[in-house]
């Protein structure tokens, strides 16, 4: 599968299809009066191809669709920010499931706060501290969103997601602009997408973003390709078919995923919390099981790099911050703010390896499915287009 682009290309292409100035259609969307972007969390391109028989509507769209690279790390908060802003992680600054954040007014200071970017709270705390006041999402991710720019151009913009996400930190950081429509089930999600697109000759230009997260949830809990996962895939297939069948004229439905997923088990696990050699000289750890940001004590960088390379061997790609940036892991451009949130050392696991933290992250350690790294299983996601 040769990727046609990245997730950061999707929203700009859809905005260009609506005629919003300042955007280019690099994905061949074509002109439209209304566009709907449906994010199916965890629907990797390799997983969809492997289980195409369980999702005939998605498979039919995939046969004439394309693939994209998710971007790095391949995890939900990072990908949602790329979809929302049209920027890679090095520009929008959401660089992990959890990330070290220096003081916002001093990006060169130590990254002593570890922010869980999905929950916008202090990561690893038994009693999570809400950080929306200390770290305002609009400052952590300050770039204007595509939704904001489309709304300012007169497009009717709607975000459709579970009600709990209405004022979440990630919504404020990545999806601000237009109105929020809270939903609780697949039926009202489908209806809300179709309502947002409108119909008839008087219908206005419309851009809606919709999110469904249950496939990812079941992949984490039971493993990608498990029976619960496959049954959920079939339900999503019917969801997409129902929306596609009723699309108003001159509208486009774009179905994407934020990442793929790999299954793993204890035999492929390195527990950082019980491996002293990997904690020596380390001040803070962030990221998740497939990608770790390592913040080191002063003067300890060389020793930490040597220890992580020596202990992990072929289980991970290990790079210094400067090396990862130079190799383009976080995109072509990395801002000063984003650079300060990237670990002094970054480890991205190969094959099915995970770097867990059994004491600090017991819930995440117990998961069966993981994502975040550079493998095609995690990086390649589908771009499926249906037209009204």
Instruction: Verify that 238 and 331 share a domain, yes or no.
Output: no
For the chain, strand residue ranges (E) read: 34-40, 66-69, 98-101, 113-116, 121-122, 156-162, 179-183, 206-212, 251-256, 262-263, 269-271, 282-288, 291-296, 316-320, 345-349, 354-356, 369-370, 380-387
CATH of the domain at 322: 3.30.1360.180
Instruction: Verify that 48 and 166 share a domain, yes or no.
Output: yes
Q: How far apart are the first and last CA of the chain?
A: 27
Q: Going by C-beta distance under 8 Å and a sequence separation of 6 or more, which residues neighbour residue 273?
A: 279, 356, 357, 358, 359, 360
Domain around 200? 7-89+141-263+375-387
SS3 letters across 6-65: EHHHHHHHHHHHCCCCCCCCCCCCCCCCEEEEEEECCCCHHHHHHCHHHCHHHHHHHHCC
- In the numeric block, which tokens belong to residue 269? 């696990």
Instruction: Report if residue 99 sits inside a domain.
Output: yes
Averaged pLDDT, groups of 10, the chain, 388 residues long: 91 98 96 98 98 98 97 98 98 98 88 94 84 97 98 97 96 97 97 92 88 98 98 98 97 98 95 98 98 98 98 98 98 97 98 97 96 98 97
What is the reported pLDDT for 1? Answer: 64
Instruction: Report if residue 146 sits inside a domain.
Output: yes
Instruction: Verify that 228 and 147 share a domain, yes or no.
Output: yes
What is the reported pLDDT for 318? Answer: 98
Instruction: Verify that 243 and 160 share a domain, yes or no.
Output: yes
Cα distance between residue 344 and residue 293, in whole Å? 7
What is the reported pLDDT for 326? Answer: 98
What is the total count of domains within the chain? 2
Instruction: Verify that 70 and 180 share a domain, yes or no.
Output: yes
Task: Give the single-character DSSP code of 95.
Answer: -
Instruction: Verify that 289 and 342 share a domain, yes or no.
Output: yes
Instruction: Verify that 217 and 237 share a domain, yes or no.
Output: yes
357 within 8 A of 288, measured Cβ to Cβ = no
């Amino acid at each position: 599968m040769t990727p046609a682009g990245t997730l950061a290309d999707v929203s700009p292409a859809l905005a260009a299809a609506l005629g919003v100035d300042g955007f280019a259609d690099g994905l061949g969307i074509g002109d439209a009066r209304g566009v709907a972007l449906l994010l199916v969390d965890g629907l990797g391109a390799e997983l969809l191809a492997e289980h195409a028989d369980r999702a005939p509507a998605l498979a039919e769209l995939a046969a004439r669709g394309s693939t994209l690279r998710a971007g790095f790390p391949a995890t939900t908060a990072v990908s949602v920010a790329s979809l929302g802003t049209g920027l890679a992680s090095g520009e929008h600054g959401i660089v992990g499931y959890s990330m070290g954040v220096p003081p916002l007014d001093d990006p060169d200071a130590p990254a002593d706060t570890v922010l869980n970017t999905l929950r916008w709270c202090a990561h690893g705390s038994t009693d999570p501290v809400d950080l929306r006041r200390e770290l305002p999402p609009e400052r952590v991710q300050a770039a204007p969103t595509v939704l904001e720019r489309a709304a300012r151009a007169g497009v009717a913009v709607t975000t459709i997601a579970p009600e709990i996400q209405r004022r979440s930190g990630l919504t404020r950081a990545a999806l601000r602009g237009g109105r929020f429509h809270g939903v609780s089930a697949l039926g009202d999600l489908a209806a809300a997408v179709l309502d947002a697109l409108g119909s008839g000759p008087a219908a206005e230009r419309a851009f809606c973003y919709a999110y469904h997260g249950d496939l990812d949830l079941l992949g984490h809990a039971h493993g990608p390709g498990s029976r619960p996962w496959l049954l959920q895939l079939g339900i999503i297939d019917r969801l997409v078919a129902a929306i596609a069948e009723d699309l108003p004229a001159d509208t486009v439905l774009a179905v994407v995923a934020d990442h793929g997923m790999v299954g793993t088990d204890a035999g492929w696990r390195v527990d950082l919390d019980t491996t002293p050699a990997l904690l020596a000289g380390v001040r803070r750890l962030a990221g998740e099981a497939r990608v770790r940001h390592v913040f080191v004590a002063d003067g300890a960088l060389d020793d930490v790099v040597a220890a992580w390379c020596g202990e992990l061997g072929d289980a991970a790609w290990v790079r210094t911050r400067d090396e990862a940036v130079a190799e383009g892991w976080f995109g072509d451009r990395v801002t000063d703010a984003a650079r300060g949130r990237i670990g002094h050392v970054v480890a991205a696991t190969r094959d099915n390896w995970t770097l867990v933290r059994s004491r600090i992250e017991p819930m995440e350690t117990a998961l069966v499915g993981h994502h975040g790294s550079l493998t095609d299983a995690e990086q390649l996601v589908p771009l499926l287009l249906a037209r009204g």
